[in-house]
Structures are given as structure tokens and as C-alpha cells.
Chains A and B, each alone.
Chain A
Amino acid sequence: MADLTTIFAGRIESPNPFWLASGPPANCGDQVMRAFDAGWGGAVWKTLGEPIVNTTSRYSSVDWNGARMMGLNNIELITDRPLEVNLREIAEVKRRYPRQAVIASLMVESKREAWHEIVKRAEGAGSDGLELNFGCPHGMSERGMGSAVGQVPEYTTMITAWVKEVARTPVLVKLTPNISDIRVIARAARRGGADGLSAINTINSITWIDLDTLTPRPDVGGKSAHGGYCGPAVKPIALHLVQQIAGEGLPVSGIGGVQGWREAAEFLLLGATTVQVCTAVMHYGYRIVEDMIDGLDNWMDEKGFRTIDDFRGRSLPRVVEWKHLDLNHRIVAKIDRDKCIGCGLCYIACWDGAHQCIHRDGGAPPEQVEGASRRKIAWTPSPSVPRDPAGKTPPERIPRVDEAECVGCNLCRLVCPVEDCITMEKVETGLGPETWEERSGRGAV
């Protein structure tokens, strides 16, 4: 059993790196206590501030190939419950669950006194840390809060500094992805004295438009507003932004599309100290943390990692600028003829979407190949036993890679539905590694 305990910014301890993100699953004390019972290591409380009024509905989602909620969009605002109630419940949770981390997410109007006041009250209730919500992209931003702060470096620095004037616990700044260079805001937060970063908040989005009513979703009485996008769809964007800020000298709590232990491991490998989860819990409930713990533990055992620090950030050195990639590294596609089912997807993808180096019928373009095939089947009766009983794909349906022409782009392997049927094999070029920087440096381009 690996040791999953985590210490964030030197002072926030949790039994594992899995925290509930600030959002509906961490709205009240009863919820957070049930989450801790299920195994969550910490929770960032739904953002405290002046209670707001929400609309109905608040969510819409993008389904993908029949699967629900590939991406989720919300236009819900911060807590709609009185501050005293939230604070009383934070105190109660901390009293009953001293080992789990409770972080108070905060958002108030941009006044120094207001921030001082809420910081003191949140810490007074016993929270282990503070997360400044400079990321919420909808509603609150129109009132000069949330991402309206997080999109302006000066505001970010200023408010972080106000908080730091009175805060006794670690202060995390939650960053918005809706900005051209997230590192600018990360540095602004550090200048203000932040002890850590949370990234990312949701991404500006309009999920879809109802083609009957012509109203975008979510539909609030025939109108909609842009919302914040999250869920599995945003993970690649979140991973990139976490990697971007990993070099800023602050611990990071990674957020965005974490569904299970695999995504969590990815964030940790890019330097995150903890991960936060919201959408997956909204979809499946707190119970998902069981497999997050179990799966991460099994993977760590298998890889020989005893603690999370053993692998934290281990993939960071492998993310470099393009100019540092080896131009002499060459791979080509190989099709396993025994595994090929003859679907033709690699062939059409290579012809229409890549470099025309996968062939059927000796190199004719797809229109000709299909035309010849249609002519062959033009009259009935058709064969009554359509497949070889041994299950073998007819040899004429198995495409062939022209290895001399193959540019090794990898598209065919991506579209192939059969596991390990197309592999990318290394070709010895006899040339040593050389990057663009090196090549252009010696004037060879």
C-alpha cells in the first residue's frame, strides 16, 4: 500500500490528494461530511460571499456518441446560502473531520475591508486554507468579481496582497483559463504573496443550440448566457495550463476533467500537488473516490512509487518546446495483417486527411477503389456466406503502407479501431538526434 498523504503549501494536510473542487458537491456541511466518509481527502467549499440568486436551469452538457456529459456547462453563481450558515457548518465539519482538509473558497467585492472581513471569518471557522476565486467566468464577472479580477494581473496582485495582510492559513489563487497567457496571472498572484495556485477554473462556452427552438442551452426562459465549461472534454486544456504554471515556484492544485485515478496521475506527473474534482462527482457521486484511491495505489505499487512525491512532476522534463524535438526520430506505420478487420478507416484517413501513403489496389485513389468494388457487386445474387468462417479478412481489403512515403504522422493508428493492429515502428535513419534549434543553428535549413 503506497502512502497517498499529501501536504499542500507545507501546511494543508490531507490523507490523499483528492479534493472536492469548489462547486455543487461541496455546497454544505452534510455533503462534505458524506464526501469525507466516502474517502475524499479534502474539500474546497462552494465559494463564500454575499449570497446570490440563481437562475433555472443552470446546466447544459455536450453528449458524445451517445455517452452523456462529455462536457458540462454551468451558469450557477457562488453560494446562495447565508455566510453564517456556511461558517457554522465549516466549523462543524472541521470538528468532526480533523484529518481532512477544508479550504474556503472566497469571492467578495473588490474592497480591502470586505476581503479582510471574509478571510478572518473563514479562518475563524477553522478552514485549513483559502482559495481566492478569481476564475468564475460567468455572472459574477459582470459584477467585477471572479474572472474579472483574474484576467487583470494588477487586480490579481492587489487582492491577493490584501488577503495576505490578514491570512494566517495558506492562500491559493484559482486561475481562469480564459486568458491568453496563464503564466502572467500566475506570476501576478505570486507577487501578491500567494502560497499556491489552483487551475483551471471553467472555460467560457456556449454548449449547443436547440435546433427546434433556436435557443442556446441552458435555456432560461428562451434566453441563455455563456457559461463555464468543464468535465472530461477540458482535461487536455487543463493539463497544458497546469504544465505552463508548474515552473512558477508555487504548489498547484490541478483541476479540469479528472474522472478517475488516471487523470489524477497525469496532473500529478505534471507537477500538481493535489487534484480537485467536481463534474465527475456531479455525474456519479462521491463514491468514485474509492477507485481513485485504489487505482492510484495499484499503479504506484506497480511502478514502484512509494509516495506521491516519488513521481510528482516526473513528466515535466519531457514537455519541451517544439524546437527541442529530434527531427531525425523517424517512425512508420505497420499494419498487422492478422489483426486487420478490413474497415478501411486508415486508408481513407490517410488519403483524405494525411499523406496518401496507405493503399488498396496498388495506389488508386478511394473513389476509384470504391467504384470498382461497387461495380463488382452490382448484380445479385450476392454471396450468402459473407465472411470467411475462419474469420479471416479478405486479403484485398487489408491496406498496405508505403513505408518509403509514410511520414509517420500517427493518424492511421489513431483511427484504427483494433487494438495494436497498427503500430508505429522505429526506422533507423543512421543519423544522430538533431533538433530544429541545432539544425537552424548550423545554417542547414
Chain B
Amino acid sequence: MRNIAPELTRQEFDRAFAEIAPALGKQEAAVEANRCLYCFDAPCTAACPTHIDVPRFIKKIASANLRGSALTILDSNILGLSCARVCPVEVLCEGSCVMHGYNRKPIEIARLQRQAMDWFYEHGARLPEPRVVPGRAVACVGGGPASLACAAELRRHGVAVTVYESKPLAGGLNTYGIAEYKLRPPDALREVALVRSLGVEFRTGVEVGRDVGMEEIEERYQAVFLGVGLGPTHALAAPGSELVGVVDALRFIAEYKTGRPQVGQRVMVVGAGNTAIDAATAARRLGAEEVTILYRRGEKEMPAFRYEYELAKGDGIRFSWLTLPVAVHGARSVEAIECVRMELGPADRTGRKRPQPVEGSNFRLACDMVILSIGQSRWIEFLRHWRGVELADGCVKVDPETGQTTNPRYFAGGDCVNGGREVVDAVAEGARAARGIVKWLT
């Protein structure tokens, strides 16, 4: 890279990535918990994909029954700790809070959930001992949120579970892919340890299909859960994308969370989803002077959540709307990105206006680094190996009530099914598949 931002000291890093939503104080939590109306048939519970009984866990905080509160959460969502930190609550539980109905601030459900979770992990993280039903074994392929949730739920039903994870650490994107100011790897790993404490066996650094054969899996387990997530970030279909300084957003995030990657002084982030925002804010906080998000559609079409957009603006990220990169220029390293202006045409399949290039509008922006965040590819090749597991649009087809695929021995959930949604969706789908598996095994 041509111009590299100076590396942060440990202290500078900690300051730059300080937690965005710090824990509530005890008294603060009591006040907030008491503000909750304790709705009957509460809409927040309906809005949560895992259907945590929100008023119940909040009232247990109010009554200082923190263990009861934590177990209420974990009963529905084994990843209650990470969800409390990363959930887009403004479009889920907090977005549905009745307080909006009379112009009050919604209850801070996420921070209250964190209160209970922090207490739980600070007090030994003890879950009730799961019962054991001999003779049942299930493999979970992939060690991310969907598999963790599936594994925990299976253990609660007495099923033996082995999780196969190709990376050295389990946790999936919770460990490797979420902005540091929201969730840190040690916290993600505490949840992995909790799942392990239920008796789940983890085989990390083991890639199914390479280190262990599919036949072996089928032989040893009565059912298989596929929680493999999505593939690598799409490459930029433009000349120059092999230049030094062109990086994949997810890899960039994983690197800064586990080491100290180099960051250019002027950074272009291509794409405007939530991952793009995580990458852009990370680059800025790591010292980049100037970070710009390039997006081929307009502000209104941006897929990032409002909350993330505000966060990025607060970090001084620039946005260049209706801008499509067509080439990256440079001798060896990135020196500039060439873009064309776009205009919006009629709506496409997703209901968003289709962007079209404006003839002859090419322009160049000087930069030192290009971070690509234009969606993850799907594991089509990999998934085809599983006999009889049908795909639709690159995603695994499942029965929405049980998570069962078109091959009855296989169940699936998480990003490989939904195409890339939230952690909480993966948890819900993993747990749903576990219940489906138990039903199918019985």
C-alpha cells in the first residue's frame, strides 16, 4: 500500500473501539427495568426471532432475580450475550415496544438483556444439567451461531452433538466478523464455552469434505445440521482487483479483530450494507484519514440499518451515492478507483429502483485501499455434495417449521438458509432445526 495509516498503540486501539453501548449500572438497570410496563402478550416477544419472553426477564431484573432473568433469556436464545450486543433492536424488540405508541423512549431491552447476561457469566455461567438420552448423535457442520443454537437445543433434549468448524475457533461471525465496538472475541468465545459446558463436542480446524469425509459423517450421526453460513465476499468484477490494497471486508474485519492489519490513509469501501459500515468505521477508527462508501444506488435504497448509517456518519464516513466502481488503477498497489455515475431506473425484483450507468460519466478517486463489501457468495459447490439437499437461489431449501431439507436426514439454518440475516435469526433457525431433528428422531 502506498500511504499507510500509523499503527495504533494498544491504548489507542482500546479507545477507538471502546464499547458502543456500555453496561447499565445496577441502579440504572433497576430504573429501566421498572419502566417496562410488563405488557400482556408483549409485542417485543413476538418481534424477537427467538421469542425471548422479554417482559418476564425484565421484571426479574427489577426483582433482582438476575439468575432467573438470565435463564429466561437463555431458554429461548443460548446466544443471549452476543444478541444483547449485536441485535438491530430498533427494528426488532425495541422497535415494537408499545412506548413508541405514546412518544416515549422504548425500553432499553438490549442493555437490560446484557445486564442479565453479564451477571450470569460473572457468576459461573451455570446452566441446568441437560438430561442424557443414549443412542442419539447429531453433527452440526459449521461452528457459527446457527450451529451453536442447534447444538445447545439438541443437548437440552439429551442428544449427543459434535460441532465441526474449519476455523481454529468456533463462534463463526460472532468471533471473527462483528465490529469490535459491538462484540469482542472473548465474549463470543464465552458463549462457545457455555455450549461446550452442555456437553457439546467441538472439532475445530476440521473441514468437512476435506479433513473428514461426508460418508463418515453420515455413518456416525443419525442427522446432520448444516449451519455453514455464506462463502467469501464477492470479488469485484473489474480490472485491477488483484492490486495490493484491494481487500475483502470480512477478511479485513477478522484481521483487525485478531491482529493488526495495515490500513490505507484514503480508503474506499464498496457497498453499503451493515458489513460495509463495520469495515468503514473500523478503517476510520484504525487511523485512516478519509473513508468513503461507494454505493451504486441512492441513500434510500441502502441496505444498512438506520442505526448503522448514523453510526457511520458519526465516525465521519463519507458517502458517495449512485457510484459504481468499474476499475482499480495502480502500478502495484492501489492508487485510484475509477467509477461511473449511476441513475435510478424502474424498480427491480426487490422493489428497489434499478441503477443504470450514465454514459461517459467515468471519474477517478485517488485512494490507497479498496475494501469490498458487495455481499457474500453462496456455498453452492459445497452444498451440492450433500445428496438430495436442494437449493433455491443458492440457499438451502427447508421446511419453515422444522428446518428439514429435502433430504430428511439433513436440517439447516442460518445464513445458508436465509441468505444472510442477523445473528438472532441464525439462533432462531438453529434452535428450530434442533426441535425438528428431535421430532424426526423420535
Interface pair B31/A65, CB less than 8 Å apart: yes
Judged by a CB distance under 8 angstroms, whether A284 is at the interface is: no
Judged by a CB distance under 8 angstroms, whether A1 is at the interface is: no
Given contacts A66-B31, A386-B91, A391-B101, contact A345 B38 (CB under 8 A): yes
Interface pair A379/B400, CB less than 8 Å apart: yes
Which of B47-55, B221-229, B381-389 is found at the contact surface with chain A?
Answer: B47-55
Given contacts A343-B37, A343-B40, A344-B41, contact A382 B46 (CB under 8 A): yes
Interface footprint category on B: 35 or more
Of the candidates A66, A347, A384, A397, the one whose C-beta lies within 8 Å of that of B27 is: A66
Residues 363-391 of A, flagged 1 when their CB comes within 8 A of B and 0 if not, give 00010011001101111111111110001
Residues 78-118 of B, flagged 1 when their CB comes within 8 A of A and 0 if not, give 00000000000001110110111110000000000000000
Judged by a CB distance under 8 angstroms, whether B341 is at the interface is: no
- Rounded to whole Å, the gap between the CB of A88 and the closest CB of chain B is 43
Of the candidates B51, B102, B421, B425, the one whose C-beta lies within 8 Å of that of A377 is: B51
Interface pair A339/B37, CB less than 8 Å apart: no
Given contacts A377-B46, A381-B425, A386-B92, contact A347 B40 (CB under 8 A): yes
Q: Which residues of A contact B92 (CB under 8 A)?
A: 382, 384, 386
Judged by a CB distance under 8 angstroms, whether A348 is at the interface is: yes
Given contacts A344-B40, A382-B48, A382-B49, contact A66 B101 (CB under 8 A): no
Query: In the bound complex, what is the Cα–Cα distance between A397 and B98 (angstroms)?
Result: 11
Residues 327-350 (chain A) with a chain B CB within 8 angstroms: 339-345, 347-348
- Rounded to whole Å, the gap between the CB of B90 and the closest CB of chain A is 10
Interface pair B40/A345, CB less than 8 Å apart: yes
Residues 342-381 of B, flagged 1 when their CB comes within 8 A of A and 0 if not, give 0000000000000000000000000000000000000000
Judged by a CB distance under 8 angstroms, whether A393 is at the interface is: yes
Query: In the bound complex, what is the Cα–Cα distance between A187 and B72 (angstroms)?
Result: 58
Q: Which residues of A contact B266 (CB under 8 A)?
A: none
Interface pair A386/B47, CB less than 8 Å apart: yes
Query: In the bound complex, what is the Cα–Cα distance between A387 and B92 (angstroms)?
Result: 9
Of the candidates B30, B39, B49, B102, the one whose C-beta lies within 8 Å of that of A418 is: B102
Query: In the bound complex, what is the Cα–Cα distance between A343 and B91 (angstroms)?
Result: 19
Interface pair A380/B432, CB less than 8 Å apart: yes
Judged by a CB distance under 8 angstroms, whether B43 is at the interface is: yes
Q: Which residues of A contact B100 (CB under 8 A)?
A: 387, 391
Interface pair A343/B98, CB less than 8 Å apart: yes
Q: Give A394's nearest chain B residue, CB to CB.
A: B43
Q: Give B44's nearest chain A residue, CB to CB.
A: A386
Q: Give B98's nearest chain A residue, CB to CB.
A: A341
Residues 401-436 (chain B) with a chain A CB within 8 angstroms: 401, 418, 421, 425, 428-429, 432
- Rounded to whole Å, the gap between the CB of B94 and the closest CB of chain A is 9
Of the candidates B46, B48, B101, the one whose C-beta lies within 8 Å of that of A393 is: B101
Interface pair B41/A373, CB less than 8 Å apart: yes
- Rounded to whole Å, the gap between the CB of B259 and the closest CB of chain A is 35
Residues 36-71 (chain B) with a chain A CB within 8 angstroms: 37-43, 45-49, 51, 62
Interface pair B102/A385, CB less than 8 Å apart: no
Interface pair A344/B39, CB less than 8 Å apart: yes
Judged by a CB distance under 8 angstroms, whether A417 is at the interface is: yes
A-B CB contacts (within 8 Å), total count: 94
Interface pair B418/A381, CB less than 8 Å apart: yes
Given contacts A65-B31, A341-B98, A385-B91, contact A379 B40 (CB under 8 A): no
Q: Is the interface of B mostly helix, strand, loop or mixed?
A: helix
Interface pair B43/A66, CB less than 8 Å apart: no
- Rounded to whole Å, the gap between the CB of B120 and the closest CB of chain A is 19
Q: Which residues of B contact A417 (CB under 8 A)?
A: 37, 102
Residues 109-138 of A, flagged 1 when their CB comes within 8 A of B and 0 if not, give 000000000000000000000000000000
Q: Which residues of A contact B45 (CB under 8 A)?
A: 377
Interface pair A387/B432, CB less than 8 Å apart: no
Q: Give B45's nearest chain A residue, CB to CB.
A: A377
Q: Give A370's nearest chain B residue, CB to CB.
A: B41
Of the candidates A339, A373, A391, the one whose C-beta lies within 8 Å of that of B46 is: A373
Judged by a CB distance under 8 angstroms, whether B197 is at the interface is: no
Judged by a CB distance under 8 angstroms, whether B166 is at the interface is: no
Residues 185-210 (chain B) with a chain A CB within 8 angstroms: none
Query: In the bound complex, what is the Cα–Cα distance between A369 and B429 (angstroms)?
Result: 25
Q: Which residues of A contact B432 (CB under 8 A)?
A: 379-380
- Rounded to whole Å, the gap between the CB of A28 and the closest CB of chain B is 33
Q: Give B32's nearest chain A residue, CB to CB.
A: A66
Given contacts A381-B418, A382-B47, contact A66 B41 (CB under 8 A): no
Interface pair B46/A65, CB less than 8 Å apart: no
Query: In the bound complex, what is the Cα–Cα distance between A432 and B432 (angstroms)?
Result: 63
Interface pair B34/A65, CB less than 8 Å apart: yes
Query: In the bound complex, what is the Cα–Cα distance between A30 and B149 (angstroms)?
Result: 67
Q: Which residues of B contact A378 (CB under 8 A)?
A: 51
Q: Which of A339, A366, A384, A385 has the most CB of B within 10 A?
A: A384
Interface pair B91/A342, CB less than 8 Å apart: no
- Rounded to whole Å, the gap between the CB of A364 and the closest CB of chain B is 12
- Rounded to whole Å, the gap between the CB of B378 and the closest CB of chain A is 18
Q: Give A366's nearest chain B residue, CB to CB.
A: B40
- Rounded to whole Å, the gap between the CB of A380 and the closest CB of chain B is 4
Query: In the bound complex, what is the Cα–Cα distance between A393 and B43 (angstroms)?
Result: 10
Q: Which residues of A contact B31 (CB under 8 A)?
A: 65-67
Of the candidates B96, B102, B418, the one whose C-beta lies within 8 Å of that of A386 is: B96
Query: In the bound complex, what is the Cα–Cα distance between A409 and B102 (angstroms)?
Result: 25
Query: In the bound complex, what is the Cα–Cα distance between A344 and B46 (angstroms)?
Result: 14
Q: List 7 A-B residue pairs with CB atoms under 8 Å apart, sorted by A's residue number.
A: A65-B31, A339-B102, A341-B101, A366-B40, A386-B43, A386-B92, A387-B96
Residues of B within 8 A of A (CB): 27, 30-31, 33-34, 37-43, 45-49, 51, 62, 91-93, 95-96, 98-102, 400-401, 418, 421, 425, 428-429, 432
Q: A373-B41, A417-B37 are in contact. List 13 more A-B contacts (CB 8 A).
A: A66-B27, A341-B99, A342-B43, A343-B39, A348-B40, A380-B400, A380-B428, A380-B429, A382-B47, A384-B92, A385-B91, A386-B46, A386-B93
For the complex of A and B, the 8 pairs showing the least CB-CB separation, nearest first, are A344-B40, A341-B101, A386-B96, A66-B31, A65-B34, A386-B47, A341-B98, A348-B40
